[in-house]
């Protein structure tokens, strides 16, 4: 007469399932009581290392030059953005694009920084900086925080050349940083610009 081995295996699986469920409930209770996930040491904390040193919320004025047109945005005390020309609030979609573009300047670090002596023999038009695709000037209530010119893409078309006003270095940035400003410029057809 043969005995079945299936009941003990089912019994062991059932206990494992119950044990895992209890551990999951315990983990959820710990999260509820502490209000956060437990910190693990293998995860590095995020540090913003973009070219904009201050938090995006400190930017109160944006001047965007695309081609021959200039559009100015001003952040009001209630954090609403208005077009500087007529003080009309901009659409929520446009505001989202603007906030995202500013955030990229704060969080996206340059992929490469080229000191002046590394590129001094190359004409500026090779980088698209003689006539930049767009220029962005970010200010707080008192001073200019950052002025950046975005040029052409690198030969592999993954990065874009950028130069900061008053800085001799040339920066290679991920394309999405400059594209965020260019994309914003594409949505400005209805906002009056300064020719």
What pLDDT digit, counting tens, does each position of 100-116 carry? 999 999 999 999 999 99
- What H or E segment, with its residue span, contains residue 146? strand 144-153
Confirm whether 10 is domain-assigned.
Answer: no
CB atoms within 10 A of CB 193: 18
Q: Using alpha carbons only, how large is the chain's radius of gyration in Å?
A: 26
Confirm whether 116 is domain-assigned.
Answer: yes
Is the predicted pLDDT of residue 51 greater than 80, yes or no? Answer: yes
Confirm whether 122 is domain-assigned.
Answer: yes
- Residue 49 main-chain phi, psi, to 5 deg: -130, 35
Confirm whether 3 is domain-assigned.
Answer: no
Confirm whether 195 is domain-assigned.
Answer: no
Task: Provide the whole-model pTM.
Answer: 0.72
Confirm whether 39 is domain-assigned.
Answer: no
Which of left, alpha, beta for 186 (phi over 0: left; psi -120 to 50: alpha)? alpha
By three-state DSSP, how is residue 76 classified?
coil
Confirm whether 106 is domain-assigned.
Answer: yes
Confirm whether 74 is domain-assigned.
Answer: yes
Total tally of structural domains belonging to the chain = 1
Is the predicted pLDDT of residue 55 greater than 80, yes or no? Answer: yes
Domain encompassing residue 181: 56-186
């Amino acid at each position: 007469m043969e005995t079945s081995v299936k009941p003990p295996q089912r019994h062991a699986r059932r206990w494992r399932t119950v044990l895992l469920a209890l551990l999951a409930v315990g983990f959820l209770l710990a999260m509820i009581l502490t209000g956060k996930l437990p910190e693990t040491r293998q995860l590095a904390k995020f540090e913003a290392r973009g070219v904009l040193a201050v938090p995006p919320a400190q930017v109160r004025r944006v001047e965007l030059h695309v081609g021959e047109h200039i559009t100015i945005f001003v952040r009001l005390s209630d954090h609403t953005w208005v077009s500087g020309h007529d003080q009309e609030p901009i659409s929520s979609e446009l505001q989202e694009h603007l906030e995202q573009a500013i955030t990229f300047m704060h969080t996206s670090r340059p992929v490469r920084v080229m000191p002046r002596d590394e590129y001094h023999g190359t004409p500026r038009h090779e980088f698209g900086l003689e006539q930049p695709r767009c220029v962005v000037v970010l200010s707080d209530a008192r001073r200019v925080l950052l002025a950046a010119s975005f040029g052409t893409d690198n030969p592999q078309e993954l990065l874009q050349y950028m130069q900061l006003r008053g800085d001799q270095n040339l920066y290679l940035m991920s394309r999405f940083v400059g594209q965020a400003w260019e994309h914003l410029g594409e949505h400005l057809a209805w906002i009056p610009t300064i020719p």
